[in-house]
Amino acid sequence: MPSNFQYGGQGVLEGVMMRGRRHYAVAVRRGPGDVVLQSRELTPYTEKHPLLKRPFIRGIIALGEAFLLGLKALEFSANQLMEAEGEEEITTREMVVAVILALGMTVLLFIALPLFIRQVIGSYLPGLFWRNLSEGLVRALILMGYILAVSVVKDIQRVFAYHGAEHQVIHTYEAGEELTVENARKKSPLHPRCGTSFLLFVVIISAVLFSFLGEQTLVMRFLSRLLLLPVIAGISYEIIKLSGKNQSFFLWRWLSWPGLLLQRLTTRTPDDEQLQVAIMALQEVLNQEGEMEVQPLLSRAGARSTTGNIKSEVDSGV
């Protein structure tokens, strides 16, 4: 029987990262018959500070820690592929620069640009409420446009396929079925507890919240968007958690529907090898946490496994 814990993860370069209560694992396919599996132990910050377990606060922590864990998984997968091709690994400095650029681009695209467009079209709208709401609509259009733009890149398409594999394997586990390629192939590549759905909730909730703010200068609007982002993230996290646990209730299914639609852009139907990699990652996590044995699958796949300890993350969802 599956655990009550909400296992999840993400697609990475030619692989999948899965995480559990106290462990995570990354499985990366370097080539035919060559899969590298890395597992690490986690130390959740919420166990050190009980206050961080409170609703809404835990969502902010989960977002930050999921981001850091995702970076570690992406770095590991990229280095495995570069090593297989005889190239030098990514340095810490290069990773830091990439993160800074990514954060800067996020602020530019999803805060500065919507505010600029709001300034341009604001005089044509009847009132403050509609001007603020138009900003949220612009932000949603930018999100969809960005996803569509990156989805034409071949490597990103592969990541999206591994993203779909991760969802199908999680569905298989949550259904209490044996983790096999045959069972996973029958499942949907869409999942209500996905990071894509989380982003959409952030956009929707921010649109509603910002629409009720009073008249502000451009600088005040920019600062309020930045300062309220943790609040919006905390609310979005709680909605995702509840909708993922209560799909039998029509209201939560209805709330999940927009996110599932958007996931059609961020997932692809995986092949059997991609499903196998996702299964290996989840089985390794379950094995580390005493949930099941994984050695037969690892032997058939020819995986090379590494283990270790690293302090890091907290429950992040799918």
Closest CA to 44 of 5, 78, 96: 5
pLDDT in tens, 133-188: 888 889 999 999 999 999 999 999 999 999 999 999 999 999 999 999 999 999 99
Residue 316 lies in a domain: no
Closest CA to 232 of 199, 205, 192, 270: 205
Residue 314 lies in a domain: no
Type of residue at 66: A
Give the pLDDT score at 297: 46
Query: Residues 307-311: contacts with CB within 8 Å, 24+ apart?
Result: 307/38, 307/39, 307/40, 308/38, 308/39, 308/40, 308/41, 309/40, 309/41, 310/40, 310/41, 310/42, 310/72, 311/42, 311/43
Domain total in the chain = 1
Q: Per-residue DSSP letters for 68-124?
A: HHHHHHHHHHHHHHHHHTTPPPPPHHHHHHHHHHHHHHHHIIIIIHHHHHHHHHGGG
Assess whether pLDDT exceeds 50 at residue 291: yes
Residue 280 has a CB neighbour count (10 Å cut-off) of: 29
The mean of the pLDDT values for the chain is 83
Domain encompassing residue 181: 8-309
Task: State percent of the chain over pLDDT 90.
Answer: 36
pLDDT in tens, 66-111: 888 888 899 999 999 988 888 888 888 888 898 899 889 999 999 9
Burial class (CB in 10 A: 0-12, 13-18, 19+), 317: buried
Residue 244 lies in a domain: yes
Residue 45 lies in a domain: yes
pLDDT in tens, 83-92: 888 888 888 8
Question: Of residues 58 and 313, which shows the higher confidence score?
Answer: 58
The residue behind tokens 């996931």 is: 263
Residue 208 lies in a domain: yes
